[in-house]
A and B are shown apart, each in its own frame.
Chain A
Amino acid sequence: MQISAKITLLLTPLLLAVAYTTFAERKIIGYMQIRIGPNRVGPRGFLQPIADALKLLTKEVIVPTNANRYLFLTAPVLAIAPSLAAWAVVPFDDGMAIADINAGLLYILALTSLGVYGIIVAGWASNSRYALLGSLRSAAQIISYEIAMGFALVGVIMAAGSLNLGEIVEAQRGSVYHWFLLPLLPLFLVYFISGVAETNRAPFDVAEGESEIVAGFHVEYSGMAFAVFFLAEYANMILISALTALLFLGGWLSPLEGLLPQAAFALPVIGWVLDGGIHWFLAKTAFFLFLFLWFRATFPRYRYDQIMRLGWKVLIPVTIVWLFLEGVAVAFGLGPWFA
Chain B
Amino acid sequence: MTVEEILFYAMSTVLVGAAVAVITVRNPVHAALALVLAFFATAFHWVMLEAEFLGILLVLVYVGAVMVLFLFVVMMLDINVARMREGFARFLPVGLVVAVGMMGLMAMVVGAGVFRIPGPERAAADHSNTAALGHLLYTEYVYPFEIAAVILLVAIIAAIVLTLRRRPGTLHLDPGRQARVRRNERVRMVKMHSEKQ
Contact = CB atoms under 8 A, between A and B. Distances in A.
Contacts of B64: 109-110, 113-114, 116, 146
User: For A107, A110, A142, A305, which residue has the most chain B Cβ atoms within 10 angstroms?
Assistant: A110
Contact of A103 (B53, B63, B65, B175): B53
Contacts of B53: 103, 106
Nearest to A113: B64
B60 A103 contact: no
A218 to B, nearest CB: 17
Contact of B63 (A114, A121, A136): A114
A117 B69 CA distance: 11
A112 B109 CA distance: 37
Nearest to A104: B56
Nearest to A115: B64
Interface in B29-63: 29-30, 33, 36, 52-53, 56-57, 59-60, 63
Contacts of B13: none
Interface in A107-130: 107, 109-111, 113-114, 116-117, 120-121, 124
A109 B60 contact: yes
B72 A103 contact: no
Contacts of A124: 29, 71, 75
Contacts, number: 71
Interface residues of A, number: 28
A224 interface: no
A191 to B, nearest CB: 17
A154 to B, nearest CB: 13
A7 interface: no
29 contacts: A102-B52, A102-B131, A103-B52, A103-B56, A103-B129, A103-B130, A106-B57, A107-B56, A109-B64, A110-B57, A110-B60, A113-B64, A114-B64, A116-B64, A116-B68, A120-B72, A124-B29, A124-B71, A124-B75, A132-B75, A136-B72, A139-B68, A139-B69, A139-B72, A140-B72, A163-B130, A305-B173, A306-B175, A309-B175
